[in-house]
């Protein structure tokens, strides 16, 4: 059977993770992985192109080394506050064919008209996800092609990104010598890896809590209903530890990852203080700092979803499948239980599925987005970002980077 290669690069504030996989169109085999600390990003956005490009390059090279061949092109994640979203409606008349049936070209015309409406020049469409169609009076249609009718309506969930931020991201990848297949809003990629079909149908909130930002998406009736970004995530927990305990940021990060927990402390026995570099750190203090910040973050997620949807998405009522958490902060022991308590919804941590190859090294929730990109390539045909800028950026920086690769630098 004919196989093809897929590249994926999750560009985060804490790490860049590149994957190379092979597919026969149905199954996936992960052949290469390269996860390296990231530089030049803040709160999900590229702030220093040269530094970010080097991180991306290092991650790609590490994946290529394990796979034993080059990554030619890849899907890439995008996150951060410059991403915005909304549900848009559009309508067209069905004319020009004798049978008066909806054709694929009518659907494409309707989506195109709806897509460009009310998009400011400094933003570009990343995703346009049709939620449902209406043919004449008939509501909730998933695929209108072939149906009889005079009027076709659609409701779409449209996600836009700042042109500048997207361009910076594209420059980093192309500058590292890899062409871009698609750019995917991070939580959609994570959702592709961890959500079940039942959860997407019943209603579920996915929060990818990384280092620099918490990226949220909500699925209802099988499609994306809402998405947004909060600029608070794991790095704020680390910062609180650093300020609260008077420790260096690197040490605070290490302590958080090694000893951090949200599992309530036993009432009876007093936990021993941690001895770090000869200093005593009361465990209760570390526990309290992590608890307070994490609880606040979870409340912020609820508040933002509620405010943005005018209370329509009362998570406890309208999302029976609850909340699924991905991203590195999902490793905090006790997070699912705390989220359940704070949100009054069922909650679980989303782990990428096990597939063949070397995928056991990407089993944590921080790898949901990179793994999800591979699935996105298999499942979702839409690509919009390129229409506006791929050629321009590629023309400017692609030639040089391709030459560099040709002559074997790096």
Ligand X SMILES: Nc1ncnc2c1ncn2[C@@H]1O[C@H](COP(=O)(O)OP(=O)(O)OP(=O)(O)O)[C@@H](O)[C@H]1O
Q: How far is the CB of 324 from Mg ion (least distance, A)?
A: 15
Using CB under 6 A as the binding criterion, the count of chain residues that bind ligand X stands at 26
Q: How far is the CB of 256 from ligand X (least distance, A)?
A: 5
Among residues 7, 149, 328, 357, the one that binds ligand X under rule CB under 6 A: 328
Q: Which is nearer to ligand X, 18 or 114 (CB)?
A: 18
Q: Which helix (H) or strand (E) holds 15?
A: strand 15-23
Q: How far is the CB of 128 from ligand X (least distance, A)?
A: 23
Q: Does 187 bind ligand X (CB under 6 A)?
A: no
Instruction: Give the separation between CA 35 and CA 29, rounded to whole angstroms.
Output: 17
User: With b meaning 16 or more CB within 10 Å and e meaning fewer, what string describes 92-112?
Assistant: bebeeeeeeebeeebbeebbe
Cβ atoms within 10 A of the Cβ of 209, count? 29
Instruction: Give the separation between CA 408 and CA 277, rounded to whole angstroms.
Output: 44
Footprint on residues 10-49 left by Mg ion (CB under 5 A) = 12
Among residues 7, 12, 40, 149, the one that binds ligand X under rule CB under 6 A: 12
Q: Does 257 bind ligand X (CB under 6 A)?
A: yes
Give me the 98-137 binding string for ligand X, x by CB under 6 A, dash otherwise.
----------------------------------------
Sequence-distant (≥ 6) Cβ neighbours of residue 144 within 8 angstroms: 102, 107, 133, 135, 152
Q: Which is nearer to ligand X, 102 or 237 (CB)?
A: 237
Q: Which is nearer to Mg ion, 203 or 330 (CB)?
A: 330
* Residue 160 contact among ligand X, Mg ion, none, beta carbon within 5 to 8 Å by kind: none
Stretch that binds ligand X, among 63-71, 86-94, 278-286, 321-329 (CB under 6 A): 321-329
Specify the residue for token string 């995703």. 127
Footprint on residues 66-95 left by ligand X (CB under 6 A) = 79
Among residues 174, 194, 253, 393, the one that binds ligand X under rule CB under 6 A: 253
Which contacts qualify for 241-248: CB closer than 8 Å, 24 or more apart? 241/286, 241/289, 241/290, 244/285, 244/289, 245/281, 245/285, 245/286, 245/289, 247/276, 247/281
Among residues 332, 338, 345, 349, the one that binds ligand X under rule CB under 6 A: 332
Q: Does 149 bind Mg ion (CB under 5 A)?
A: no
User: In sequence order, what are the beta bridge partners of 326?
Assistant: 208
Specify the residue for token string 């008066």. 100
Stretch that binds ligand X, among 49-57, 253-261, 264-272, 309-317 (CB under 6 A): 253-261
Q: How far is the CB of 327 from Mg ion (least distance, A)?
A: 5
Q: Contact at 8 Å (CB) between 159 and 125? A: yes
Instruction: Give the separation between CA 363 and CA 220, rounded to whole angstroms.
Output: 26
Q: Which is nearer to Mg ion, 170 or 286 (CB)?
A: 170
Instruction: Give the separation between CA 187 and CA 302, rounded to whole angstroms.
Output: 16
Q: Which helix (H) or strand (E) holds 23?
A: strand 15-23
Q: Does 210 bind Mg ion (CB under 5 A)?
A: yes
* Residue 253 contact among ligand X, Mg ion, none, beta carbon within 5 to 8 Å by kind: ligand X
* Residue 352 contact among ligand X, Mg ion, none, beta carbon within 5 to 8 Å by kind: none
Q: How far is the CB of 162 from ligand X (least distance, A)?
A: 16
* Residue 7 contact among Mg ion, ligand X, none, beta carbon within 5 to 8 Å by kind: none
Q: How far is the CB of 264 from Mg ion (least distance, A)?
A: 28
Specify the residue for token string 């056991």. 360
Q: What are the E-state strand segments in 231-343?
A: 274-276, 279-281, 323-326
Structure tokens at 117: 């409406």
| Alpha helices by DSSP H, 143-282 | 163-175, 186-194, 197-202, 234-245, 249-259
Footprint on residues 226-245 left by ligand X (CB under 6 A) = 233-235, 238
Q: What are the E-state strand segments in 270-343?
A: 274-276, 279-281, 323-326
Among residues 53, 157, 256, 377, the one that binds ligand X under rule CB under 6 A: 256
Stretch that binds ligand X, among 11-19, 50-58, 156-164, 243-251 (CB under 6 A): 11-19
Nearest one of 1, 65, 4 to 374, comparing CA atoms: 4
Residues at the contact surface with Mg ion, assessed by CB under 5 A: 12, 210
Q: Where does this chain bind ligand X (CB under 6 A)?
A: 12-15, 38, 44, 79, 186, 210-213, 233-235, 238, 253, 256-257, 260, 327-329, 331-332, 366
């Amino acid at each position: 059977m004919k196989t093809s290669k897929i590249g994926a690069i999750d560009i985060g504030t804490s790490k860049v993770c590149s994957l190379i996989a092979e597919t026969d169109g149905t199954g996936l085999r992960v052949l290469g992985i390269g996860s390296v600390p990231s530089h030049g990003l803040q709160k999900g956005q590229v702030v220093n192109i040269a530094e970010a490009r080097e991180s991306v390059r290092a991650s790609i090279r590490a994946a290529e080394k394990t796979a034993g061949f080059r990554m030619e092109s890849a899907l890439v994640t995008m996150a951060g506050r410059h991403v915005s979203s909304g549900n848009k409606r559009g309508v067209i008349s069905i004319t020009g064919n004798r049978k008066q049936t909806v054709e694929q070209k009518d659907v494409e015309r309707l989506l195109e008209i709806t897509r460009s409406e009310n998009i400011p020049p400094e933003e570009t469409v990343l995703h346009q996800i049709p939620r449902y169609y209406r043919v004449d009076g008939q509501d909730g249609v998933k695929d209108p092609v072939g149906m009889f009718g005079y009027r076709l309506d659609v409701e779409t969930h449209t996600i836009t990104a700042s042109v500048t931020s997207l361009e910076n991201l594209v420059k980093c990848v192309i500058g590292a010598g890899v062409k871009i297949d698609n750019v995917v809003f991070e939580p959609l990629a994570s959702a592709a890896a961890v959500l079940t079909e039942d959860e997407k149908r019943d209603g579920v909130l996915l929060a990818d809590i990384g280092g620099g930002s918490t990226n949220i998406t909500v699925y209802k009736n099988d499609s994306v209903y809402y998405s947004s970004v909060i600029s608070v995530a794991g790095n704020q927990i680390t910062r609180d530890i650093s300020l609260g305990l008077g420790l260096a940021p690197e040490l605070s990060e290490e302590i958080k990852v090694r000893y951090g927990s949200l599992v309530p402390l036993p009432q009876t026995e007093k936990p021993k203080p941690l001895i770090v570099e000869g200093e005593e750190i009361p465990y209760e203090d570390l526990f309290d700092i992590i608890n307070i910040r994490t609880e606040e973050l979870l409340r912020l997620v609820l508040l933002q979803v509620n405010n943005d949807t005018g209370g329509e998405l009362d998570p406890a009522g309208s999302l029976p499948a609850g909340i699924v958490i991905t991203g590195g902060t999902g490793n905090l022991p006790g997070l699912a239980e705390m989220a359940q308590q704070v949100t009054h919804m069922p909650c679980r941590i989303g782990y990428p599925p096990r597939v063949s190859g070397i995928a056991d090294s990407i089993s944590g929730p921080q790898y949901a987005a990179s793994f999800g990109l591979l699935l996105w390539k298999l499942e979702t045909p839409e690509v919009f970002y390129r229409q506006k800028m791929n050629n321009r950026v590629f023309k400017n920086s692609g030639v040089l980077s391709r030459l560099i690769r040709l002559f074997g630098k790096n």
